[in-house]
Amino acid sequence: MTSQRTRDRLIERLQQQGINNQRVLEVMRNTPRHLFVDEALSHRAYEDTALPIGFGQTISQPYIVARMTQMILASGMPSSVLEIGTGCGYQTAVLAQIVPQVYSVERIGALHQQAKKRLAELQLYNIELRHTDGNGGWPNLNYRFDRIMMTAACADIPRKLADQLNHNGEMILPYDDGDSQVLLKITRRHDEFETEAFESVSFVPLLPGIS
């Protein structure tokens, strides 16, 4: 069930759904998603569906991972990406095989530790992980990122995060208006922010504090 054929079928499905960035498709074909879920669920790892990872959290649906990664790359190769919500680390692993440097924060200590171990096992070394509340952005305030990807839904866009975007930097996030969630792209132009809305999505909520 984790065979190359099963993986190839997932990639075909992503292509049918409009994912056409060849690098994204190639990386997702070769990233072992089954290593990011519990062994009992590994036979479902190449289905195009979100799966539970414990602590009430999920590994994102492959289509969403592909879609958001493709959006991150749409206006050129960023030198750095900050991910909010490491979770199991799968999206982090996909990003790290494409962009030069990935930073990722997770509020749940046990998930942070597990992701750290898995990503080291995959020998992905261009990743920095922190156990912290992503509402505050990356702990070192001097950092500025070309892209920020939020993988948990928020109702208010955290100001500190927006402040950590470079000029012309872009933030991709699931925005929750109380009724439904939509994927937003926010582009920073000096001190102004432009917003563009895309398809509706379903993410776990961005929560405050750490645990």
How far, in Å, CA of 162 to CA of 175, rounded?
Answer: 14
Tokens of 206: 């961005």
Contact at 8 Å (CB) between 175 and 182?
yes
Residue with tokens 């582009």: 187
If one asks whether residue 133 binds ligand SAH (CB under 6 A), the answer comes out as yes
If one asks whether residue 105 binds ligand SAH (CB under 6 A), the answer comes out as yes
If one asks whether residue 63 binds ligand SAH (CB under 6 A), the answer comes out as no
In the complex, minimum distance from the CB of residue 189 to ligand SAH, in angstroms, rounded to a whole number: 26
- β-strand partners of 153: 205
Burial 20-51 (b: 16+ CB within 10 A, else e): ebeebbebbeebbbbbbbeeeebeebbbeebb
If one asks whether residue 21 binds ligand SAH (CB under 6 A), the answer comes out as no
Residue with tokens 């922010």: 193
Catalytic center residues = 60
If one asks whether residue 60 binds ligand SAH (CB under 6 A), the answer comes out as yes
The amino acid occupying position 192 is E
Residue of 24, 37, 82, 108 interacting with ligand SAH (CB under 6 A): 108
Tokens of 167: 């000029």
In the complex, minimum distance from the CB of residue 50 to ligand SAH, in angstroms, rounded to a whole number: 8
Contact at 8 Å (CB) between 167 and 100?
no
If one asks whether residue 10 binds ligand SAH (CB under 6 A), the answer comes out as no
In the complex, minimum distance from the CB of residue 157 to ligand SAH, in angstroms, rounded to a whole number: 13
Residue of 28, 45, 88, 173 interacting with ligand SAH (CB under 6 A): 88
If one asks whether residue 85 binds ligand SAH (CB under 6 A), the answer comes out as yes
CB closer to ligand SAH, 166 vs 207:
207
Residue of 27, 45, 84, 148 interacting with ligand SAH (CB under 6 A): 84
Tokens of 47: 């289905």
Helix (H, G, I), strand (E, B) or coil at 21: coil
Per CB under 6 A, the segment of 11-19, 133-141, 163-171, 178-186 that binds ligand SAH is: 133-141
In the complex, minimum distance from the CB of residue 34 to ligand SAH, in angstroms, rounded to a whole number: 13
Residue with tokens 């995060």: 161
| Bridge-based pairing state of the strands 145-150 and 80-84 | parallel
In the complex, minimum distance from the CB of residue 112 to ligand SAH, in angstroms, rounded to a whole number: 9
Task: Point out which residues bind ligand SAH (CB under 6 A).
Answer: 57-60, 84-85, 87-88, 90-91, 105-108, 111, 133-135, 151-152, 204, 206-207
